[in-house]
């Protein structure tokens, strides 16, 4: 099938696929953690400026780096370059396969999204590392998506196995990342401002690559250096909302009830003195990626529209709405005229009912494929900016109006695969997986629709 002409070229499906990839990569390049650090952190002699906050390096006896997340390694590498010999020591925790060889900073790897023993041990090492800090020290904390799972140290009364089980239940119930993190924060010794508490009274400057809608410090990586605005009562409401009372370990329910009854201390709040010397800054987010993707699409000749960088909701329902917009463009040149590029970023959720394999982006793509079946001239790429969609090696998938027909000819029932939450198997058999490998950043998801 041949599509419309852009800049004098007839666009084949393969050319459109290359355009989808290049638009995605343009967005990704705009949120590279190392470049984001270099843009946000400037040094003139011994004056360090971190997002307009000034630090005189002559004042500090020791300067430390700590961090966690999928993009913490390139962030640390950029900070090492800036600080040079002024850096005393560093320790970061990254997802398996996301490490880099650094000069001064130790890099520990652990599992994600379900915490493992390596993450537990690494978190213990980070606490020991921070206990060395004092009032005349500076801690540069580097946080990206994935930190919540990698900073894993259960509070008293909760075993590590119970913490793992809790994470799995939360990931499968369809809760938002904010809801998941609300519960995880109240089960942790290191999240929800606790890392700042451990580092106190040292000065702390936290640089954050956001993977959370709204960019609230407390939600990104479960806010290890940020005041927590949620409560144990909020946790119980979330547990009731998703009917998790019988699915979560009894110890979790007990901890939440003890917290409501003031038998366990709440997480640190905004008026706590531990935050007096803490400065949190967002240095990259989904909007930056989507704006760069939009600009690149326009260079390629597409009339581009960025719908939102705050997409959320059930993946298949959001896909249905996006498909309706794509059809409107194709049929009526509204709200943008073809050749068009429609972009939407954010993070959907999936309520898992089947026993298949996949992630929210592949589920989104499969639902979208069903909604645009036989609508000639609609093409899409749905992918996670971190290069990983759920428990798979793919970032997402590419679909078009022929995907469902191609599946039928291959003997695949598209609806059945969607109902079984088995989008990975579906797209693998069709050869439509989008595989990038670790991108070493994470600003949620990038969804691109092209209508040539």
Kindly list the averaged pLDDT for each block of 10 residues, start to end, along the chain of length 452: 46 91 97 95 95 92 96 96 96 95 96 89 95 95 92 90 90 86 92 95 96 91 93 96 94 95 94 95 97 98 96 95 96 94 95 93 98 94 95 96 96 97 98 95 96 94
> In this structure, what are the phi and psi dihedrals at residue 67, rounded to the nearest 5 degrees?
180, 165
Determine the Cα–Cα distance for residues 240 and 175; give it in Å rounded to an integer: 12
Angle (deg, nearest 10), helices 232-241 and 250-260: 140
Q: Where are the beta strands (DSSP E) in 319-435?
A: 340-346, 379-384, 396-400, 433-434
pLDDT at 9: 52
E strand or H helix that includes residue 106: strand 105-110
> Contacts for 106-114 with beta carbons within 8 Å, 24 or more apart?
107/73, 107/76, 110/149, 110/150, 110/152, 111/149, 112/70, 112/146, 112/149, 112/150, 113/146, 113/149, 113/167, 113/171, 113/391, 114/149, 114/164, 114/167, 114/168, 114/171
pLDDT at 3: 40
Please give the structure tokens belonging to residue 370: 């069903």
* CB-based contact 329:338 (threshold 8 Å): yes
pLDDT at 1: 34
pLDDT at 181: 85
pLDDT at 2: 34
Determine the Cα–Cα distance for residues 210 and 197; give it in Å rounded to an integer: 22
Q: Is 279 left (phi over 0), alpha (psi -120 to 50) or beta?
A: beta
**What is the set of domains in the chain, with CATH numbers?**
2-29+287-451 (3.40.1480.10), 33-153+188-230+267-284 (3.40.50.10180)
The answer for residues whose C-beta is within 8 angstroms of residue 203's C-beta and 6 or more apart is 55, 60, 137, 138, 139, 277, 278
Q: Indicate if the alpha-carbon torsion angle 248, 249, 254, 260 is positive or negative.
A: negative
Cis before 113 (ω within 30): yes
Tell me the three state secondary structure of residue 273: helix
* CB-based contact 337:303 (threshold 8 Å): yes
Dihedral over alpha carbons 238, 239, 241, 242 (to 10 degrees): 120
Q: Indicate if the alpha-carbon torsion angle 169, 173, 177, 181 is positive or negative.
A: negative
Alpha helices in 143-186 (DSSP H): 147-150, 160-172, 177-185
pTM summary value: 0.88
Determine the Cα–Cα distance for residues 220 and 240; give it in Å rounded to an integer: 24
> In this structure, what are the phi and psi dihedrals at residue 445, rounded to the nearest 5 degrees?
-110, 155
Pairing type for strands 47-50 and 53-56 reads antiparallel
């Amino acid at each position: 099938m041949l599509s419309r002409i852009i800049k004098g070229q007839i666009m084949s499906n393969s050319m459109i696929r290359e355009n989808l990839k290049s638009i995605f990569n343009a967005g990704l390049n705009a949120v590279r953690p190392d470049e984001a650090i270099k843009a946000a952190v400037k040094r003139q002699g011994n004056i360090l400026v971190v997002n307009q906050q000034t630090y005189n390096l002559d004042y500090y006896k020791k300067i430390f780096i700590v961090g966690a997340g999928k993009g913490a390694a390139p962030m640390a590498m950029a900070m090492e370059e800036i600080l040079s010999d002024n850096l005393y020591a560093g320790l970061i925790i990254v997802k398996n396969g996301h490490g880099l060889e650094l000069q001064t900073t130790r890099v520990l790897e652990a599992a994600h999204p379900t915490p493992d023993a390596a993450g537990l041990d690494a978190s213990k090492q980070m606490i020991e590392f921070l206990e060395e800090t004092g009032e005349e020290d500076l801690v540069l904390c580097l946080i990206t998506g994935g930190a919540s799972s990698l900073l894993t140290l259960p509070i008293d009364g909760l075993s590590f196995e119970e913490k793992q089980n809790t994470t799995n239940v939360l990931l499968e119930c369809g809760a938002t990342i904010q809801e998941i993190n609300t519960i995880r924060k109240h089960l942790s010794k290191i999240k929800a401002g606790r890392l700042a508490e451990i580092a106190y009274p040292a000065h702390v400057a936290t640089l954050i690559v956001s993977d959370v809608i709204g960019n609230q410090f407390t939600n990104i990586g479960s806010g290890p250096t940020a005041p927590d605005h949620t409560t144990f009562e909020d946790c119980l409401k979330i547990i009731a909302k998703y009917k998790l009372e019988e699915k979560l370990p009894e110890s979790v329910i007990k901890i939440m009830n003890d917290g409501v009854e003031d038998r366990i201390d709440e997480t640190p709040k905004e008026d706590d003195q531990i935050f007096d010397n803490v400065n949190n800054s967002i240095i990259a987010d989904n909007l930056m990626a989507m704006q760069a993707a939009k600009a690149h699409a326009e260079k390629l000749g597409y009339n581009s529209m960025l719908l939102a960088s705050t997409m959320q909701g059930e993946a298949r329902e959001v896909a249905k709405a996006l498909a309706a917009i794509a059809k409107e463009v194709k049929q009526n040149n509204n709200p943008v005229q073809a050749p068009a590029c429609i972009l939407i970023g954010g993070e959907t959720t999936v309520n898992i009912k089947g026993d298949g394999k996949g992630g929210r982006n592949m589920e989104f793509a499969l639902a979208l494929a069903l909604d645009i079946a036989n609508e000639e001239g609609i093409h899409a790429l749905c992918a996670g900016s971190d290069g990983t969609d759920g428990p798979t090696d793919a970032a997402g998938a590419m679909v078009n109006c022929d995907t469902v027909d191609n599946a039928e000819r291959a003997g695949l029932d598209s609806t059945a695969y969607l109902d079984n939450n088995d989008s990975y198997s579906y797209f693998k058999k069709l050869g439509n997986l989008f595989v990038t490998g670790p991108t070493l950043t994470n600003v949620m998801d990038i969804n691109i629709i092209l209508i040539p």
